[in-house]
Each structure stands twice: as C-alpha cells, then as structure tokens.
Structure 1
Amino acid sequence: MSQYTPPIRDMQFVMHELFNAEATFKEIPAFADMDADTINQILEEGGKFCAEVLQPLNAVGDSEGCTHNKTDFSVKTPTGFKEAYKQYVEAGWPALSCDPEFGGQGLPVTVNQAFYEMMNAANQAWTMYPGLTHGAYDCLHAHGTPEQKATYLPKLTSGEWTGTMCLTEPHCGTDLGMLRSKAEPQADGSYKITGAKIFISSGEHDMAENIIHLVLARLPDAPAGTKGISLFLVPKFIPNADGSLGARNPINCGAIEHKMGIHGNSTCQMNLDGATGWIIGQPHKGLNAMFVMMNAARLGVGMQSLGLTEVAYQNAVVYAKDRIQSRSLTGPKQADKPADKIIVHPDVRKMLLTARAYAEGGRALCMWTSLELDKELSHPDEAVRKEAAEMVALTTPIVKSFITDNAWEATSHCLQVYGGHGYIAEWGMEQYVRDSRINMIYEGTNTIQSLDLLGRKVLADGGAKLMKFGKRVRALCEAEANNPAMKEFIEPLADLGDKVTKLTMEIGGKAMANPDEVGAAAVDYLRVVGHMFYAYFFALSAKIALEKQNSGDNFYKAKLITARFYFQKMLPETAMLIRKARAGSAVLMEMEEELF
C-alpha cells in the first residue's frame, strides 16, 4: 500500500535556487551546455521510471527475496526485477554520468545522484545492483589499464554487465589488513585467486549476462597488514578477444544471506577456487584503488537513507491526513466526524516535521557534495579542484553516517505515526525501518565514519578543511547580521560554528595525551558537525524563502516553516552532544573487561 511521488520541486529548489548548479556547470567545459530545463527534463523522466516501474516492485522484493540454486550456484531475483533492469538499460540510464569515450552520456555527477535518490526511495534493494556497478565503473575508470578499460567499461556503462566489490571475509570486516584471500601470479600475466568473501551485495543474480567482481587479495610476497593488499578484476565469465563471453570463471555464490532487510538484493557468500583475475593498479596498493569505489559507495549509502527518509515521510503524511483518532486538544476540528485527523496532534506533527527536515537537509548536503565532486573531477582550475576534493573528503563520512542515523530515526517516527498499523507488512512502513538499519553498518560502520571524520579529516590537518567550510558559515552570518528576519537562523548558526571550533580544539588537545579521547568523542562530534552543515543549508534556504514568501507559492511558506522547526526543535540536540563529547573517555575505559 506504500506509494512514492518523486520530490521534483524540492530537487529543483536545491539545485537551481539554493546552489545555482547551472552556474557551476558553466565553469566546466564538459558541462557548459547543461541548463535548468535539461536537468528538469531528466529528473522528471527519471522520476517516472522510479515511481511507475521500481516502486511497485519494492514490496515484491521484500516478500519474495532472492532464491539460491545450490546445484549450479545461480541466484534468481524477485519477480519483475530482471524486467525492470532491462527497461533501465534500454532507456540508457546506466550511462547518465559515464565517460562518452566508453559510451556514456557525460552528464554531471550531481544529476546522476539526484536520479539515484529517487531510485533508492522507490526500491533500495533493486537500486543496489546498478549502484555497485557504477562504483566498479568509477574504480576501473580511475585505475584500470587501457586494455581493461576498453574491455570492461563500455559494458559497465551500457549496463549489459554489472559489478561488485568483494572485500569482507568471514574473519575480517573493517579491518581488511587481516584478509587471507591469495593471488598466485601466472605466466600469462593473470592471477589465480583463492579465498572466501561474505556479505557481497549483488554478488550473483540473473539480471545481467556478466558480473565483474573487484576482489581484494594478497600476492605471495605481500607484506602484512593493509600495505600488502592488491586489487583484482575477476569476471564471472572471462571475455573473449571480441568482447563476447568466454569461459565460466570459478567464482561462485555458495549461499545467500537471510537478513532483516533489503531482501530483494542478493547478499552473497562468494567462493573463489583458483579464479582467474587481473591486477588493477599497482601491487600492494589495492586499497588505494578500491577506495574510489568505497568512497562512492559511502556517498551512495547516504543516498539510500535519504531516499528511505523521503518515502517514509510521504506515506506517513498521507496516513496522518486520513486516519482519525481522538480530538484536538484545542477542540474538535472535524465536528462531523467522531474524531479528528491525527495530523492535528502536536506530537504527530513533530514526528512528521522531523522526517521532513531530515529529508530536506540530507538532500541539500548530498547535492552540495555532488557539486563539489563534479568540480573535483572536471573543473579546469587546479585550485578549485583541490579545494573541492577537500570538501568531498570532509563531507563523505558525514553523508554516510549522519544521513543514515537520521533515516533510522525518521523511518521509526514515520512507523510510529501509523500506530499499530505501522508494524503490519501490508502498509509498507516496517520495511523502510528494516531496510534503513543496515545502512548504518555497511561500507564502514558509522563509528568508523566518525573516527575518519574526527581523526583523519579534521585533526590530521589541524582542522584546515573544516575551517574552510567554517569560512562559508561566517560569511553568511556576517552578510545577514543586520537582517532582522534572519536573526532566528543566523544567531544559532554562528553560535554553533564557534562551539564546533572550541570543541575541536579541546578534543585535539586531549587526544595528544590520550588517543582514546578521539574514540570517545567521535560519534557525538560527527553529529554536531552534521548539524552545522544542515543549519547552514537551512539558513540559506530560509533566506530564499523569506524573499519569496509573498509570491503566492506555498512551497516557500513550507520551506520557511521547516527551517524554523529545524532550528527550534532539532538543532538544540547539539548542546547535549557537545556535553557528551566533552565528557571524555575515562568513564568508558575504567570498567575492567571482566566486569562487563
């Protein structure tokens, strides 16, 4: 019974009014012809595909799941998934932001990411198949040999072949330095790879004729730890010289995981029994190459949770406007009915507005990061590329962690709006809660992302990247300091900016004496910084909404109210988080292991 309407209007607001993406594209020769009308047409057509083709399959995928054939190791995807993928490929969607040299359309990453938000909202499990493929494309495009690119990129671009990344092993997840898969060099320049991988999303399926696995393994002379990991390209079917499919490679799905969510995606245990592979990049430098795909995946996971937040919010609003239960505290609002719609109740509105604010804030953060990524990859000015790369590095753990944490809260709130119907499968809400929970875990748990932000992205460079974003915050606050209408947004934003600076310095000083201080503060710290980004974007949005609030367009009225709600009801969380972050590690570490 769930439904989905692509949020095209808000996407247009963020892209065109909030960030003026067209002006950024004009600075990049490859995108100089991109204009608002073209972008809008792409989003509208993409939205139709998501709403009409993918969304109806979401519940089907959840109820059916994937089926593993233990005899031939094949996996059958849920009813309709294969046919939807065929439509996706025939329409040219896989090629949207890929390099024209390999058959791509050469459009900005920003446009592709907006499309992926809609796909994830409509059907996250299905979207993981093309999503991982795009990550494999990015990795090969950045680190593949000319021969590898010529053989594999056109097929990945067209969607004829799909891709995966094979990292995790039964005994090691995040700590990849412990992996045991082995790669033996062969006389012809290839490698024979043996090992077992687990939790491999989209590892085996029936939607494409070939699957390209990017596999981490160790060479015989590999040093211990992460400095001894190499990356290999291991196709399910080894291509012939003419690009046709050749021999079946011995990389097989031994089983699929039965998990609490995203049932429509095949999460596989992959066994490599002397599978033929080819090295990508330099020996023992596999993580450097794989991080291209891993960082793309982390941004993609944020997009998954953004989509779930949006679709859960939409359905909860529809229910709240229809369900009648109890009377308004200020008197009956529907005197002709035995009760009022539940949307009259303040707490229901708080839950709905929380989900709405997290969706709008997350959309702004994702689109801003995507624009920075477009500048990093394609801008002609090296200085612009360098600063954009720093901003992408800074925001990647925030996109992955802050948005997925928020989606868990938002989907839970939206389920709560349904009351008892929320946990009944036919309404669709409990699936969004289950699907959202894994996003906080895979592609590096949110604790790992928090450590990455605080340790590597902030403290490691003395806060240089964070200060560059802080300059944007200060510039807005100074520009609007004498605007009375903006006072309710600017004052708390400026205050939070100052507190983030002080908190960062305090944690950095304590960590010099005790590194556990970073681990104790990191999760709370990331949420504080995430709120600073959201507050900045909501303040910018409020400025635009104030200027257009008398235009007669209720969109701006709603945008302004949502910004006010965020500042009044959500941003105050930072006071608690800062206090927790400052509390330190002593109380966490003083309990001896046997006392747990």
Structure 2
Amino acid sequence: MTVSDYKAPVRDMKFVLNEVFNVEQLLASMPGTAEVNAELINSVLEEAGKVAEGLLAPLNRQGDEIGCQFDGGKVTTPGGFKDAYRTFAEGGWIGLAGDPQYGGQGMPKTLAVCFEEMIMAANSSLALYAVLSAGASLAISRHASDDLKQAYLPKLYDGSWSATMCLTEPHAGTDLGMIKTRAVPQSDGSYKVSGTKIFITGGEHDLSENIIHLVLAKLPDAPAGPRGISLFLVPKFLPDGDGNVGDSNGVSCGSIEHKMGLKGSATCVMNFDDATGYLVGEINKGLACMFTMMNYERLTIGLQGLGLGDASYQTAAAYARERIQGRSPAGPAQPDKAADSLLVHPDVRRMLLNMRANTEAGRALAAYVGNQLDIVYFHPDEERQARAAKLVALLTPITKAAFTDRGFEACVLGQQVLGGHGYVREWGQEQHVRDARIAQIYEGTNGIQALDLMGRKVVFDREGMLEEMLDEMRQFIDQEKDGRVAAFVAALDNALDCLVRTTDLIRQANTENPHEVGAASVPYLDLMTLILYCYMWARMVKVAEDALAAGTEDSDFYRAKIQVGCYFLDRIMPRYKSLAEEISAGSDVVMALDEALF
C-alpha cells in the first residue's frame, strides 16, 4: 500500500450528513438550498471521492519530491499539477459553494466541508490553490462592489483565475495592526498599493492565467492599529476592456520559501510596487472583511489536519492488518503463520483507535459547523440565523485548533504504527507528518485560536455564545438520559458540570490576574474539544444503535461505529478531568520563572 491508495470516506460522510444530522430536512427548510436533497448530496460525495482518489492523490508524492521551482520571479508547480488543476476547475469544484449568480454551484457549506476534507487528505498542496480561491471568492461575494463581483467572481469560480490573501509582513504576523503596506487613493477611485507580504500561499504559480490578491493595507491618514486597516483587491494582471488578462500590474514574487512540507504549494514573498488595487468593503473596515475569508480558511485548514489524519489512519490500519510481528499475549492468533498481525497487540490498537475516534468525531463536528454556516447564510428565520452565528463564532477556533492538533497527532501515530517503514518515503507517512505540521501554525496559530476562544468567546463574551452550546447539549441530555446512549449522556452531563465550574473559576480569577486567560486557554480549548467530541459520539452511537435495532443490512459499519465510540468514552473522554485540574492550578506557576532564566 502507498499513500496514493487513499480512499475517500464517502460511506462515513453519508452517515454523518444523512443519518446523524438529517441535512436534507434542514436544507429543504431554506429557500437557497431547498433543491439539495439526499440523492444530490450522495451523488456529489461520490463524485468528489473519485476526484480525490483518482485525480489528486496520485500526484501527492511526486508533488512533494519535485516541489515548486522558482526562477526569475516565476514559479513552476510540480509536473501534473497544471493539468490536474485544469480538470479540477472544469468540473466546477472551485465554485462548489459559490454564488450561482456569478457562476458558482450554490451547494451548501455542509457539503463543501466534506469535499474539502477529501481533497486535503488526497493532496493538500494542490488543494490549497483551490480552497484559497474559494475563500477569496466568499470575501468578494460578501463585501465587494457589484462591478468587482461581476469582473472577478466568474473567472475565480471557473478556475481561469485564482486568488490569495495577503496579510503577514516581515515585522507583522499575529499583530496585524503593525502592517506597513500603504494604499494611496487615485482620482479614478482606485488605489496605488505598495508594500511587502510574506508567507503568501499561491502568490505566484503557473496554474491560472491571473492571480487576484486580497491585500490588507492602510491609507495615509488611517488610524493607528487594526482600526486603520482596509482591504484591497489587487490583480497580477489588470483586466482589459473585455474582462480578460491585460496589462501587468505592479505585483511581483521575490522568492519562495523552502519548507518542511507542502512542497507542491508555493509559499511566496510578494512585492507590491504602486500596484493598482480596488477597495473591498469600507475604508478602515478591512480586517472585518478579511475575517470572512480567514474564518472560512480556518475551518478549511482544520479540515486539512482532519483529512491528513484520516489518510494516515488508512495507511496504518492497512499495514497493521498485513504486517505480522510477534504473538498475541493471549496465545497465537494465527498458528499457521510465523507470527500474528500487529492488530493482536493492545498498544497498536490503542494508537489506531485514538486516530480513528478523534477523526470520526472531528468529521461529525465539521459537518455540524457546516450546518450552522448554512443556517447563517440561508435560513429565513433571523433568530435561527443569530443563534447559528454565535455557534459558528464559538466553534471556529475550536475546530481549527482541535482538528489540526489531533490530525498531526494522528499522522505521528500512523508513522509509529509502521515503525521503521513510517520513517521512509515509500509509505507516505513521513510526508503526512511534514504536511500536517504547518496546519497548527498558519491561519492563526493554535495558541491564538485558544486565546480567541478563552478571551473573546468566553471570558469577555456578552452574547452568550458558550451558553447557546451548553443549552443544546443539556437538551440532548434530557432527551436521551434513559435511552440507548445513557453512558455517553452521563459522561457528557458530568463533563458539562465540570466545564461550567472551570469557566466560572477562570472568569473570577481573571478579575484579579490578567494572566489567567492566557494560562488557561490551551487546556480549556482541549477540554471543550473533548466535550464536543463526546456530544458528537453520543449522537452517532445513538443512530448506530437504532439502526442495529431496526435490523440494518450494514451491521458491520454500525457495530464498528459503536465500538469506536465506546473506546472514545472509556479511554479518551476521562482526560477532561486532568485538564480541569491543570486549569485550576492557575497562572502563577506559569509566570514565576524570571525572563533571564529562560
């Protein structure tokens, strides 16, 4: 088996969408998605699986080995990428969730979430070019003028043009208020944009005719800090009178980074020298506009971790079934062979079950967040929209950090299952580890995600974001406490009580010590993740138990779902208690060591 043997988890995705969340019923209640029924959902999932398995995955290893080449300001992507990207774009996949008014497919985010997991698992480097265009298209669709939408969205959706987002500068990473890129107003309503941006994914490449950069910059008289940031659309080539590629703009690539992983994805230093740009949204409101794309990309990068973790599991599980080493502690399981398979060893099973339990819970949570995003954008009931928006705000930092942390852990565990074979190139596990590592860093480091959750979304929240999520889980507990998933419900109930106590403790401690939020943030996000995963497992196991009771023909699938869920409940869920104890230790011990002693 090699990494190109990736199999898209279509069966599990159908289970999550159709059985656990019954998305057809939700989509039918919203005018913008009413035509998306179960038959269409299944068809899209199946075709997406074919694209991931047959088009993207076979190029993954060679993309890593060849990498992007930089020469004279031009970037050449690995062999096969250009043709594959063209085929991918012609299939309408870049505009899958795009605005139909401008050529998008108009599919719900719930479905796009599954698709993005597949393509990220199959070939993250190539997938990144496409998902960045999708994210930029969303920001343009939500905030740009009608003229800009008409000029750029159709070509972004059909893949003839691609897009980036340009935030980071050499001196300004997390603290975007420090950016120096400037935009000077012109008499024709355009702006001249000048500055340097770094770590720009897809800033230069040969996959599309034009590259559209969404650039954060400040006007000469802008207020200091993040309140003075505006957003500009800056094309590599200015469109001509017919809307096609015209004159070169003042945009150039200075170099590309030599990276640990994702070598088929060009990470560029981009220079803007009096480049013509166009305002997106309002002056000094650029950060809010860019967050439309950033939050989209944060979930997408979470799906990168989730997908790579699943790909690692698939390779490791297949290897463990085939590899014979040692004997079962209970006696030979295969006495006719020289040794038993790795699956007789409890520790190998522990690693595989950790990978699978976290991946399947993450997949369900991703679909749940997709549901909420669809409600925000499509539901006619404003109260439902407002509630969903709160949940999305709360869950976005959790999904980005949780999926990428656990995805990287799954890649390392998968490498460990293979032993020495996991460390060599042929099996693909070492590439998974390298490719997954960046997902914990870009689109906002996971430490920043934890601070966002702990600070903005919990301690300083005035909208009741956490309370909305707690109320929903409490309702589930009340409904199911005497049902088939009573054990899950009891654990969830106890964990929620612990979460409330811990949250109250942090809120109170923060009034006296400003370090408490930062010291508690990462373990708090992990605590929330365990609770959310338990909630997802309770819902999945309930459906599986009901299916078995009804006499399903696919009994193996549902039995496996229940057994993996029980593993999560018994072996992973109890960790919430130690996380609560870690948080209760407070910040003093974190801040005690003098700076000079580090």
TM (normalized to structure 2)? 0.98
Distance 1:256 1:336 in 2: 55
Report SS of the residue matched to 2:545: helix
Give 1:237-248 correspondences, 5 Å limit. Answer: 237-248=237-248
Q: Return the alpha-carbon distance in structure 2 between the equivalents of residues 419 and 64 of structure 1.
A: 26
Indicate conservation of the 8 Å contact 2:95/2:134, yes or no.
no
Alpha-carbon deviations, 1:95-144, whole Å to 9, x = none? 22111110112111111221111101100111000100011101111110
What is the Cα deviation at residue 193 of structure 1?
A: 1.2
Q: Secondary structure, in 3 states, of the residue corresponding to 1:205?
A: coil
Name the CA distance, whole Å, in 2 between partners of 1:461 and 1:592: 32
Structure 1: segments with no counterpart, 5+ residues? none
Amino acid at match of 2:413: H
In structure 2, what is the equivalent of residue 502 of structure 1? 501
Shift of 1:463: 7.4
Matched ranges for 1:359-508 at <5 A: 359-461=359-461, 464-483=464-483, 485-508=484-507
Q: Could you say which residue in structure 1 is the equivalent of 2:102?
A: 102
Q: Distance in 2 between matches of 1:282 and 1:379?
A: 26
The 2-side partners of 1:527 and 1:463 are apart by 22
**In the alignment, does 2:29 pair up with 1:37?**
no
Q: Deviations over 1:466-519 (max 9, x none)?
A: 111111211221222223x42321111110011111111110010111121000
Separation (CA, whole Å) in 2 of partners of 1:463 and 1:342: 51
Q: Is the 8 A contact 2:211 2:237 kept in 1?
A: yes
Paired residue secondary structure (2:337): coil
Tell me, what secondary structure is at the counterpart of 1:313? helix
Map of 1:587 onto structure 2: 589
> Post-superposition shift, 1:241?
2.5
Q: Which digits, 9 at most, give the CA deviation of each residue in 1:529-570, with x for residues without a partner?
A: 111111001011111112223534210000000110001111
User: Is the CA contact (8 Å cut-off) linking 1:528 and 1:577 kept in structure 2?
Assistant: yes
Partner of 1:563: 565
Q: Which residue identity lines up with residue 584 of structure 1 in the other structure?
A: G
Per-residue CA deviations over 1:202-250 (Å, capped at 9, x if unaligned) read 1110000000000111111011111111111100000013101111112
User: What secondary structure sits across from 1:514 in the alignment?
Assistant: coil
Tell me the distance in 1 between the aligned counterparts of 2:430 and 2:556.
31
Which residue is equivalent to 1:92?
Answer: 92
Amino acid at match of 1:508: R
Alpha-carbon distance in 2 for matches of 1:521, 1:62: 38
Q: For residue 318 of structure 1, what is the aligned residue in structure 2?
A: 318
Matches within 5 A, 1:70-89: 70=72, 73-89=73-89
Q: State the partner residue of 1:46.
A: 48
The CA distance in 2 between the partners of 1:448 and 1:17, in whole Å, is 34
Contact preservation (8 Å) 2:109, 2:371 = yes
The match for 1:166 is 166
Task: Provide the rounded CA distance (Å) in 2 between the counterparts of 1:65 and 1:175.
Answer: 31
**Alpha-carbon distance in structure 1 between the residues aligned to 2:120 and 2:101:** 28
In the alignment, is the contact (CA less than 8 A) between 1:309 and 1:358 conserved in 2?
A: no
Alpha-carbon distance in structure 1 between the residues aligned to 2:490 and 2:112: 35
| AA of the residue aligned to 2:376 | E
Partner of 1:526: 525
Question: Could you say what secondary structure the match of 1:242 adopts?
Answer: coil
Divergent runs of 4+, >6 A: none
- What secondary structure is seen at the aligned counterpart in 2 of 1:95? coil
Q: CA deviation digits over 1:289-342, x for unaligned, max 9? A: 111011111011111111101111111011001111111111111111111110
Check whether the contact 1:118–1:307 (CA below 8 A) recurs between aligned residues: yes
For 1:164 and 1:25, locate their aligned partners in 2 and report how far apart those are by CA, in whole Å. 30
Verify: 1:544 aligned to 2:546, yes or no. no
Aligned length: 593
Write the letter of the residue equivalent to 2:576. T
CA contact (8 A) 2:94 2:131 kept: no
Q: Unaligned 5+ residue runs, structure 2?
A: none
In 1, are the aligned partners of 2:69 and 2:77 still within 8 Å (CA)? yes
In the alignment, does 2:251 pair up with 1:219? Answer: no
Q: CA deviation at 1:462?
A: 5.1
CA contact (8 A) 1:216 1:229 kept: yes
Inter-partner Cα distance in structure 1 for 2:588 and 2:152: 52
- Give the 5 Å matches for 1:164-313: 164-313=164-313
Once residues 567 and 355 of structure 1 are traced to their aligned partners in structure 2, the CA distance between those partners, rounded to angstroms, is 14
Q: 1:463–1:516: structure 2 CA closer, same or farther, 3 Å change rule?
A: farther
CA–CA distance in 1 between the matches of 2:536 and 2:394?
16
Q: Deviations over 1:251-304 (max 9, x none)?
A: 111110001011110000111111111111111111011110111110111111
| Contact 2:63/2:79 (8 A) holds in 1 | yes
Q: After the TM superposition, which residues 49-68 of structure 1 pair with which residues of structure 2 at under 5 Å, given as runs?
A: 49-68=51-70
Identical columns (%):
48
Amino acid at match of 1:19: F
Larger mean CA deviation between 354-363 and 181-190 belongs to 181-190
Q: Which residue does the alignment assign to 1:341?
A: 341
SS of the residue 1:575 aligns to: helix
CA distance in 2 between partners of 1:581 and 1:318 (Å): 39
Deviation at 1:153, TM superposition (A): 0.9
CA offsets 1:184-204 (integer angstroms, 9 cap, x no match): 122222111111111000111
Cα distance between partner residues in 1 of 2:195 and 2:85: 30
Q: Secondary structure at the match of 1:506?
A: helix
- TM-superposed CA distance for 1:436, in Å, is 0.9
Report the Cα distance in structure 1 between the residues aligned to 2:41 and 2:279, rounded to whole angstroms. 38
Aligned counterparts of 2:94 and 2:172: Cα–Cα separation in 1: 32
Task: Tell me, in whole angstroms, the C-alpha distance in 1 between the residues paired with 2:95 and 2:287.
Answer: 26
Q: After superposition, give the CA deviation of every residue in 1:46-87 in whole Å (9 maximum; x if it has no partner).
A: 1101101100011011111100012xx110001111010110
Matched, 1:120 2:117: no
Cα deviation digits, residues 11-40 of structure 1 (max 9, x gap): 011001100000100110121121111110
* SS of 2:94 mapped into structure 1: helix
Q: Specify the code of the residue in structure 2 equivalent to 1:431.
A: Q
